[in-house]
């Protein structure tokens, strides 16, 4: 697993201060997080490959050969995969969540908001970097 999700796993688990009884639910959650991170890495690698292939073609070729139906199918498949991953993650969290105290639930809620904000910022930073790379390659 990439260090960022691995670090999040450690922080989440430590922040929740699980009891011995709650601890038995943790392996399924950790596996779901790891699986989701691995699938995300695969998606990013596939996307990078497509971008590299596009850079080898002229803009006219790219526009001429666009297939919107293929794009919609590819996008639909990606969204379905991500939905399945989220369902698996939610299913893994459900048994533990039912045992959490009110304080643990508040901490988990805070961590969820913080993580979502962190992911959003990372995506924005990656998009900006891609735009900068694209502008640099034009010269």
**Residue 52, in any domain of the structure:** yes
Task: Using DSSP, state whether 21 is helix, strand or coil.
Answer: helix
**Residue 58, in any domain of the structure:** yes
Half-sphere CA count of 45, side-chain side, radius 13 A:
6
User: What pLDDT, in 10s, does the model give residues 105-127?
Assistant: 999 999 989 888 887 887 788 77
- At 139 the pLDDT is 45
**Residue 45, in any domain of the structure:** yes
Give me the phi and psi of 24, to 5 degrees please.
Answer: -65, -20
**Residue 126, in any domain of the structure:** no
**Residue 123, in any domain of the structure:** no
**Euclidean distance between CA atoms 5 and 28, whole angstroms:** 15
Rounded to the nearest integer, the mean pLDDT of the chain is: 86
Residue percentage of the chain with pLDDT more than 70:
89
Mean pLDDT of the 76-97 span:
94
What's the structural domain count of the chain?
1
Domain that holds residue 52: 3-100
**Residue 113, in any domain of the structure:** no
**Residue 60, in any domain of the structure:** yes
Q: Is the pLDDT of residue 99 over 80?
A: yes
Q: What angle do CA 87, 74, 5 make, to 5 degrees?
A: 45
- Sorting pLDDT into bands at 50, 70 and 90, what band is 14? very high
Helix (H), strand (E) counts: the chain = 6, 0
Residue percentage of the chain with pLDDT more than 90:
45
**Residue 42, in any domain of the structure:** yes
Q: Is the pLDDT of residue 98 over 70?
A: yes
User: What pLDDT, in 10s, does the model give residues 52-86?
Assistant: 888 888 888 888 888 889 989 989 998 999 999 99
Task: Using DSSP, state whether 17 is helix, strand or coil.
Answer: coil
- At 8 the pLDDT is 81
């Amino acid at each position: 697993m990439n260090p960022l999700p691995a670090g999040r796993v450690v922080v989440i688990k430590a922040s929740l201060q699980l009891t011995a009884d709650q601890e038995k639910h943790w392996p399924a959650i950790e596996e779901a997080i790891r699986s989701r991170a691995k699938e995300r890495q695969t998606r990013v690698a596939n996307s990078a490959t497509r971008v590299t292939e596009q850079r080898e073609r002229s803009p006219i070729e790219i526009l001429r050969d666009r297939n919107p139906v293929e794009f919609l199918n590819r996008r639909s498949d990606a969204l379905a995969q991500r939905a399945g991953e989220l369902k698996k993650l939610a299913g893994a969290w459900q048994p533990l969540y039912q045992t959490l105290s009110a304080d643990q639930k508040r901490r988990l809620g805070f961590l969820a908001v913080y993580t979502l904000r962190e992911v959003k910022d990372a995506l924005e930073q990656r998009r900006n970097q891609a735009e900068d790379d694209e502008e640099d390659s034009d010269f």
